[in-house]
A and B are shown apart, each in its own frame.
Chain A
């Protein structure tokens, strides 16, 4: 079973990456200053003995590697520590993570629904009118800053025409505006990606062979060409999804979306160090997990990878 061997190999690599990432996050956060001082910075009359007590309570007086071990063991057992201000981190994450994932998935879906048909069309009519229009449209889309686009959509569809709510989570419909905002931004690049990938495969000799067999153009394009382009497209979009999970901060801010980006950003403002370590670690894990999944899908799509 070569596919199993391939999966195991990639899994081992992913585990190694997780180790490096988590240890780096733990180390980097401790570089930003003594969490005990951060915790008490507001209050004026704190003695060194008080600080020592806080450090002991948080386990900060132990050697770094022991702290790391404690964090990791806790993390993977569901205990992500306690926020300085807002109770157990796991409760915060339980709200934020699904919100972020939902938004990321919805944006990717929006983007794929637009970019795949348009990209294919542009590739099939390379140099023609529809190709030009799609290219200009994609350029316009690229030049929008995402917060601006978000504000515009909000103005039109929730203030002028009140279809959706402008901020926060008030039921499933709330996801539409932020998802469309990110979806459009992603589409600008994805259309070009799909177009380039399709052009490359459509120029391949096996496409001419497929035509010479007498297949109809639709089957040539969707069965023979798209399946090959999918190898490139899935890889890129998978990486994009990974970035998205960690990179939604700006749009989450605009729409006041209660996701991981907001959680991490608040934690930075408040120096809420346990929340920060847990959320960054979790985001890093998400990206590793997505990449691992992409590798597997890639292996399924491309027999050349599977058998190697």
Chain B
């Protein structure tokens, strides 16, 4: 057995290391079971990557737990099929489904390892990062603690954690999400497994961090000659990582083949519709206006509203919303006396205009302050300075009654539709509530009629009035939230990551609905998102935010075709491209986004802007901008 790090396995055997045959997994009552996976078959060659893609509920994650024999631990059963693994320990092929728990433990973490989706919760918070890696190493080898610690340190360095010597004794909460995922990878690879299962390993991470993590996985894969089962919902990531692709839907395999065939010439209608729903960076080149997704839509969900035809907003009129010098800070108290010692500079001197019928994209990574800007405009947070003018009036200088009126005209849609609906209220009542609060309609019957109209307008049915939020899917809930926003007859909707939690096909439907509503009602959107491809699809203009300040603002076509600021370029280059014949070779930039927390009195320098072309503004720090 090879144990030293860095040595490449020289095994001449290149056959399949894993063969899954007719695998079915059930949950619940054996008499009326729920089949999470049905008759799944695939095989995986040594050193290759198989991507399993699908939307939520497709069974992609569950099927991968079966490779570790962990199905009983999540309350399920293998009802039929075999998982054949060519185990170096046993020297021959074994059927995972037949192995007793004790035999499985020899394989788990040792020959088959797994990394999980949520880096924030996959490390035990009460043990140091190092002790958790050392535990894994010692479990599967005869090494002493000192040897294991030395090896753990080497692994932390291999996943490019800066200051590995310090991190080995750090607790998980002291590390960022990206650093935790690196530590998790170090732990998973520490026994040099034959197969690595990666379950949505970058979904919770920012796009620039995602690029770094994907690069590390690919690099170590070829170094260890390891096979990877890569589970993802993101077609761009799949295109970049996979040799083979398996598309799953509701527990069934719908398409399986070489990545180039599946992504470029999909055969199955479901794969086709899935790919049609994926927004692709660069697909909007030479188009100035937003465009609907060309997906086959259920007639029911379309209802009677007009289909979006893009119109350019009238920029010669006065803007609907004008934000200038907007600064929002949060206090951090510390010390024995609980004095304010630091500020989070969430937004520093942010300014932009938004016109009637226009969608302005506000894009940035976590901690950039984009949500803070939205919440300040909605009057959910009080700013430290600056003005927000709505229809020419300074919102924060107005008397209470008028501010309430503006709260009606500006509506907010959150990322988590379930969290923003009262679970104990019928959805009809949730939608009716703002109509009553703002006194838009008086009689009970008129309100009910209006709510039912709204339900139908957003693609639900009037009979849904009496149902509760938990009876709906994520996409339907977001439609309910949109209906509730529309109930206020708004002129501006702030959509804060409104489609980020949705499956890609549902995301396309909801975005189409939002665009249709813009055409029908002349709505303006402040579209806050981290997803560059979605932004490109739906926005007229785009503002890029970094560390609380705008760095670039301009027409969408300009920003995407001719990005001027190094940060905008970095964001764009980090987005995985849906083009399997073009695997990225370049090493992504290292480093994490710096913190917006600064000591009191140490306010950041607010940079000015240059107009590089008509309407295209660039921060003056572009020339000497540094990452870290």
| Docked complex Cα distance between A165 and B161 (Å) | 66
Q: Does B124 contact A (CB under 8 A)?
A: yes
Q: Does B619 contact A (CB under 8 A)?
A: no
Cβ–Cβ contact A208 & B126, under 8 A: no
Cβ–Cβ contact A212 & B68, under 8 A: yes
Name A308's closest neighbour in chain B (CB-CB): B334
In B99-121, the 8 Å CB interface with A consists of: 101, 104-110, 113-114, 116, 118, 121
Which of A8, A209, A211, A307 is close to B123, meaning CB atoms less than 8 Å apart? A209
Cβ–Cβ contact A214 & B139, under 8 A: yes
| Docked complex Cα distance between A183 and B626 (Å) | 63
Which of A9, A212, A302, A307 is close to B336, meaning CB atoms less than 8 Å apart? A9
In B64-97, the 8 Å CB interface with A consists of: 68, 70, 73-74
Cβ–Cβ contact B70 & A208, under 8 A: yes
B104: chain A residues at CB < 8 Å are: 214
Q: Does A206 contact B (CB under 8 A)?
A: yes
B107: chain A residues at CB < 8 Å are: 214
Cβ–Cβ contact A213 & B135, under 8 A: yes
Cβ–Cβ contact A213 & B136, under 8 A: yes
| Docked complex Cα distance between A298 and B139 (Å) | 29
Name B184's closest neighbour in chain A (CB-CB): A209
Cβ–Cβ contact A304 & B171, under 8 A: yes
Q: Does A228 contact B (CB under 8 A)?
A: yes
| Docked complex Cα distance between A213 and B123 (Å) | 12
Cβ–Cβ contact B171 & A210, under 8 A: no
B74: chain A residues at CB < 8 Å are: 208
Which of A212, A224, A227, A303 is close to B114, meaning CB atoms less than 8 Å apart? A212
Q: Does A301 contact B (CB under 8 A)?
A: yes
* Given A228-B126, A301-B126, A304-B173, A206 contacting B108 (CB threshold 8 A): no
Which of A213, A215, A227 is close to B187, meaning CB atoms less than 8 Å apart? A213
Q: Does A204 contact B (CB under 8 A)?
A: yes
Cβ–Cβ contact B126 & A227, under 8 A: yes
CB proximity of B122 to chain A, nearest CB, Å: 5
B222: chain A residues at CB < 8 Å are: none
Which of A215, A216, A303 is close to B171, meaning CB atoms less than 8 Å apart? A303
Chain B's interface size range is 20 to 34
Cβ–Cβ contact A212 & B108, under 8 A: yes
Q: Does A205 contact B (CB under 8 A)?
A: yes
Cβ–Cβ contact A212 & B126, under 8 A: no
Q: Does B591 contact A (CB under 8 A)?
A: no
B116: chain A residues at CB < 8 Å are: 205, 208-209
Cβ–Cβ contact B113 & A206, under 8 A: no
CB proximity of B165 to chain A, nearest CB, Å: 18
CB proximity of A300 to chain B, nearest CB, Å: 10
Cβ–Cβ contact A208 & B73, under 8 A: yes
A216: chain B residues at CB < 8 Å are: 105
| Docked complex Cα distance between A9 and B113 (Å) | 43
B353-396 near A? 1/0 per residue, CB < 8 Å: 00000000000000000000000000000000000000000000
| Docked complex Cα distance between A206 and B117 (Å) | 11
A206: chain B residues at CB < 8 Å are: 121-125
Cβ–Cβ contact B336 & A303, under 8 A: no
Among A9, A12, A208, the most chain B Cβ lie within 10 Å of the Cβ of A208
A178-219 near B? 1/0 per residue, CB < 8 Å: 000000000000000000000000001110111111111100
Cβ–Cβ contact A214 & B123, under 8 A: no
CB proximity of B76 to chain A, nearest CB, Å: 13
CB proximity of A202 to chain B, nearest CB, Å: 10
Among B74, B114, B184, the most chain A Cβ lie within 10 Å of the Cβ of B114
CB proximity of B435 to chain A, nearest CB, Å: 40
Cβ–Cβ contact A212 & B123, under 8 A: no
Cβ–Cβ contact A214 & B108, under 8 A: yes
Q: Does B140 contact A (CB under 8 A)?
A: yes
B125: chain A residues at CB < 8 Å are: 206, 228, 302-304
Q: Does B174 contact A (CB under 8 A)?
A: yes
B154-172 near A? 1/0 per residue, CB < 8 Å: 0000000000000000010
Cβ–Cβ contact B174 & A214, under 8 A: no
| Docked complex Cα distance between A205 and B204 (Å) | 14
Name B336's closest neighbour in chain A (CB-CB): A9
B109: chain A residues at CB < 8 Å are: 212-215
In B128-186, the 8 Å CB interface with A consists of: 135-136, 139-140, 171, 173-174, 184
In A281-308, the 8 Å CB interface with B consists of: 301-304, 307
Which of B68, B139, B336 is close to A215, meaning CB atoms less than 8 Å apart? B139
| Docked complex Cα distance between A22 and B6 (Å) | 67
B171: chain A residues at CB < 8 Å are: 303-304, 307
CB proximity of B151 to chain A, nearest CB, Å: 15
| Docked complex Cα distance between A302 and B173 (Å) | 11
* Given A213-B108, A215-B105, A303-B126, A204 contacting B121 (CB threshold 8 A): yes
Cβ–Cβ contact A212 & B106, under 8 A: no
| Docked complex Cα distance between A115 and B73 (Å) | 24
In B474-498, the 8 Å CB interface with A consists of: none
| Docked complex Cα distance between A217 and B105 (Å) | 10
CB proximity of A63 to chain B, nearest CB, Å: 31
Cβ–Cβ contact A211 & B73, under 8 A: yes
Assuming A228-B125, A307-B171, what are 6 further A-B pairs, CB within 8 angstroms?
Answer: A205-B118, A206-B124, A209-B184, A212-B109, A217-B101, A303-B173
11 A-B pairs with C-beta separation under 8 A: A204-B121, A206-B121, A206-B124, A208-B116, A209-B184, A211-B73, A212-B68, A214-B110, A215-B109, A217-B101, A227-B124
Please list the residues of chain A having a beta carbon within 8 angstroms of any beta carbon in chain B: 8-9, 12, 204-206, 208-217, 224, 227-228, 231, 301-304, 307
